[in-house]
Structure formats: structure tokens, C-alpha cells
């Protein structure tokens, strides 16, 4: 009986995913058919009032803030996972840090956005004004843009990277560590030459899942990115992401404009599917 219940639950989840994907493709494909996939995905002009549906600026914006979040969050997340798994004492170390990380995962994204607007954006604004080479650029003084978005997303993806990476490190057989220490290696040498390489698949899975978390974020990035639908030309430029484009304009869109937003959702859906596929591939059994 329980097998049937579990199978039904899995089947319902699959049906929901298929229906969601089918609805998005049904609404978005007509725009691709009319204007061409290349003109939509690679077009630089987003002006729905004049039938301009190029989403390339949003694609570039999503990639930039996601890469920025990865560069900032991945090293910190993996380092924290190593500390929790191999170095931190149970009390008061891991018993305090681990609940804090779980709390970090439960904070609503709008709170992260408010934190970014009141703290990160002013810091970026001061940093931009302190760079003479950019002093004549008026947009730089706002503080909204790639840097602010990357910092907020880096904070948001930390719990995902830390939890998955820590599980991968803890899953490494104890014999590896004991053998390395028995051969005369120090604890630190054992960590970075034996344990971390053996857990690399799980660590990569955590990083890839963090990327998926970052590229799918909406509210926080809307509040700190500036949301200008143009291709950014520097780290201080304002950007608009794929998710932000949908959330900002869906409320007042109609006709082809709505279909173009669904087309944006298709591109985002493909991104997420690719990222999740990579994560599933990387999350195979850990091998040294």
C-alpha cells in the first residue's frame, strides 16, 4: 500500500512539472515562431510597445550576476563546509554555526533585498565614486547593478553550497583520512590532498545547485540590480535579469508582450533544466 502512495506522490510531482512546462511553452512558442529564436534570444532591443522583444540584455545580466555570486559565494561556502566537517568543535563551533546557516536559508528573499538596498547599494555607490576612471559616469553613483546583485545572491546561495558540500565531505570513507594520517600527513594536508578531492563530485553538485538558486532568484535581485534592460558595460552598470523581466512587466502586459514574457520564461526554464542536469550528473557516487 505504501509503495502505491509513494508512487502516486512521485507521479503527481511529475505531472505538475509537465503541465507547467507545457503551459509555458504553449504561451511562449508563438513569439519564437513569428520573430525567430535568434531574434528573440540574441536581440538587444527590448521595447514591447514597438514589437522589440530581444532578451539578450536580460540573458547577459543573469549570467553576470550569477557568475559574480559564484565567484564570491563558492569559495566561502566550500571553505565553511570544510570547517564544519573537519575542523570545527561540536561546542560551541558547529552547534552554533550550523543553526545560523539553516536560519540564513529561511530568510525571505525580500529581506535580503532590503538589506541590499540599505547596506550593499550605498557601499557600492561609495566605492564607485572613489574610482576616478568612472567618476564621469552618472549611473555609477546609484550603487544598483551587477556588484550589488552578485553580493546579495552570493549570500543567498551559501546555505545550499555549504550543506551539500558538507554532506559530500562527511561521506568520504574514514579509511581515507586514517590512511593519510598514518602515512605521516598533517591534518590540513589530508584535507586538501585526500578528503576534498574525494568529495569533489558532491562539492561540484552543491556549487551547481547554488548556481540554479542564483539564476532563479527574483525579488531580491529586482531590488538591487537597477533593472535597466540594456547590455551592461561595466561591473557598476545596472542590469535586468530574466526573472526580473518577467516579474516587473507581467502585471501590465497583454497580447504579444505577454507571449514574449513567456518566451523569456522558456529560456529561463532551459537554463534551469541544464543546470539541474549538470548537478545530477555531478552528484554521482563520490569517487577518489
Q: Per-residue pLDDT averaged across 269-279, rounded? A: 82
284's grid cell = 554521482
pLDDT at 19: 93
**Which pLDDT tens digit goes with each residue over 191-230?**
989 999 988 888 988 898 899 889 988 999 999 998 888 8
| CA–CA separation, 94 and 169 (whole Å) | 15
Name the DSSP letter for residue 239.
B
Whether the per-residue pLDDT at 134 is higher than 50: the answer is no
CATH code reported for the domain at 2-282? 1.10.3720.10
In this prediction the pTM is 0.87
pLDDT in tens, 244-264: 999 999 888 888 999 999 999
pLDDT, one tens digit per residue, over 17-62 is 899 989 999 999 999 998 888 889 998 889 888 888 999 999 999 9
CA–CA distances in Å: residue 55 to residues 30, 152, 163, 246, 251: 16, 23, 34, 11, 18
Contact 206, 160 (CB under 8 A): yes
Joined together, the cell numbers standing for residue 29 give 512558442
Average predicted confidence (pLDDT) for the chain: 86
Percent of the chain with pLDDT over 90: 41
Using CA atoms, how far residue 271 sits from 12, 74, 115, 264, 267, in Å, is 23, 19, 28, 11, 6
DSSP state of 43: -
Question: How far, in Å, CA of 100 to CA of 169, rounded?
Answer: 20
Grade residue 183 by pLDDT with cuts at 50, 70 and 90.
Answer: confident
Amino acid at each position: 500500500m505504501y509503495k502505491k502512495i509513494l508512487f502516486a506522490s512521485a507521479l503527481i510531482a511529475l505531472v505538475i512539472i509537465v503541465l507547467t512546462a507545457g503551459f509555458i511553452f504553449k504561451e511562449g512558442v508563438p513569439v519564437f515562431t513569428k520573430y525567430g529564436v535568434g531574434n528573440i534570444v540574441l536581440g538587444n532591443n527590448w521595447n514591447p510597445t514597438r514589437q522589440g522583444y530581444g532578451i539578450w540584455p536580460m540573458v547577459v545580466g543573469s549570467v553576470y550576476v550569477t557568475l559574480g555570486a559564484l565567484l564570491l559565494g563558492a569559495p566561502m561556502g566550500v571553505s565553511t563546509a570544510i570547517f564544519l566537517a573537519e575542523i570545527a568543535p561540536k561546542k560551541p563551533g558547529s552547534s552554533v554555526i550550523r543553526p545560523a546557516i539553516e536560519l540564513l536559508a529561511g530568510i525571505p528573499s525580500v529581506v535580503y533585498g532590503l538589506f541590499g538596498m540599505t547596506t550593499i547599494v550605498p557601499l557600492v555607490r561609495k566605492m564607485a565614486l572613489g574610482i576616478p576612471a568612472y567618476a564621469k559616469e552618472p549611473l555609477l553613483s546609484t550603487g544598483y547593478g551587477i556588484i550589488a546583485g552578485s553580493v546579495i545572491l552570493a549570500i543567498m546561495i551559501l546555505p545550499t553550497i555549504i550543506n551539500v558540500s558538507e554532506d559530500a565531505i562527511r561521506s568520504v570513507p574514514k579509511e581515507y583520512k586514517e590512511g593519510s594520517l598514518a602515512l605521516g600527513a598533517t591534518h590540513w594536508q589530508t584535507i586538501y590532498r585526500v578528503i576534498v578531492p574525494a568529495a569533489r563530485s558532491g562539492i561540484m553538485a552543491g556549487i551547481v545547485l547554488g548556481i540554479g538558486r542564483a539564476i532563479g532568484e527574483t525579488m531580491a535581485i529586482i531590488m538591487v540590480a537597477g533593472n535597466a534592460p540594456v547590455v551592461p558595460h561595466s561591473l557598476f552598470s545596472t542590469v535586468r535579469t530574466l526573472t526580473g523581466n518577467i516579474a516587473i512587466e507581467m502585471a501590465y502586459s497583454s497580447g504579444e508582450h505577454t507571449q514574449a514574457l513567456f518566451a523569456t520564461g522558456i529560456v529561463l526554464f532551459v537554463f534551469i533544466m541544464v543546470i539541474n542536469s549538470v548537478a545530477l550528473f555531478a552528484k554521482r557516487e563520490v569517487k577518489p
